[in-house]
Amino acid sequence: MNAADAGEVMTIVAARHLRRAKVCFIGVGRPSTAAILAREVHNPELVLVYESGTIGAKPRRIPLSIGDGELAQTADAVVSVPEMFNYWVQPGRLDVAFLGAAQIDRFGNLNSTVIGDYAHPKVRLPGGGGAPEIAAACGEVVVIAPHSPRTFVERLDFVTSVGYGDGPGARERLGFRGGGPTTTITDLGVLQPDPETKELTLTQLHDGVDADRVREATGWPLAAAAEPRRTEPPTDEELGALRELTSR
């Protein structure tokens, strides 16, 4: 089998993160692929919840949208949007949520709204959707983003979803019940919050990547663990299952 490319590594690392999760909230794209892969390889009992209101969906193919018919067809329950946010997201019934963003800062705050000024944006992005409340309420948030200084920035142009705010104690002051962005998976490695400072810290490096390369791709002076772990290379089982899944 050909070696995994950087995108496949991100997906496989994200799927491993779901080994012991019970309920996972997902949007479209790579997170959906990772969650379906996790169900097939690591955790067949994993409950997938899509924002469209499908709880316990069991897709066999990667959906293009969160509302594809297969999700409703295979779900344990299909609920309205008000119910999804009021009864399921808000009380913190979902353990793990995946979020993406155009920008992320050192405290895991996310921008998916605009690049540039809000009133006169350089790039108008889609906006928050469900993310602001998901980021506040879900047990933990996993961010998946390609590593570059354009994405990992010193200062967000707009705060769409709060991670650790301005540092220690911020989530508690805001009354958030969820644990925040515990894991940020990139194409170079994994960042996790320092338990004291809450600053995202390099804790894991993918194959062939060194810490300097990650620092160069980060827009703030990135802290690193003394000895970042090495990502276990994708197994044949993981990679085979992923490629089979994406070809369906």
Partner 1 sequence: MRIVSLSSDRAQRVTLSDGIAELVRDGHSVALEGFTHLIPFAAGHEVVRQGRRELELIRMTPDLLYDQLIGMGCARRLVFSYGGNPGVGSLHRFRDAVENGWPHPLELEEHSHAGMANRYAAGASDLPFAVIRGYRGNDLVGRTRVATVTCPFTGEELAAVPALRPDVAIVHAQEADRRGNVQLWGIPGVQKEAVLAARRSLVTVERIVDELELRPGGVVIPGWVIDAVAEAPGGSQPSYSHGLTERDNEFYRRWDEISRDRGGFLAWMEEHVFGRVAPK
Instruction: Catalogue the active-site residues.
Output: 51
CB of 59 to partner 1, least distance (A): 13
Among 124, 229, 230, 243, binds partner 1 (CB under 8 A): 124
Does 78 engage in binding with partner 1 (CB under 8 A)?
yes
Does 179 engage in binding with partner 1 (CB under 8 A)?
no
CB of 25 to partner 1, least distance (A): 12
* Alpha helices for 86-235 (secondary structure H): 131-137, 170-174, 211-216
Vertex 178 angle, CA 177 and 181, to 5°:
145
How far is residue 11's CA from residue 87's CA, in Å, rounded to a whole number? Answer: 29
DSSP run (H or E) holding 239: helix 236-247
Does 89 engage in binding with partner 1 (CB under 8 A)?
yes
Among 66, 101, 102, 217, binds partner 1 (CB under 8 A): 66
Looking from the CA of 86 toward its CB, the CA atoms found within 13 Å total 5
How far is residue 204's CA from residue 195's CA, in Å, rounded to a whole number? Answer: 16
Binding residue count for partner 1, defined by CB under 8 A: 52
* Residues making contact with partner 1 (CB under 8 A): 28-29, 51-54, 63-69, 71-72, 78-82, 84-86, 89-90, 113, 118, 121-133, 136-137, 158-162, 165, 170, 174-176
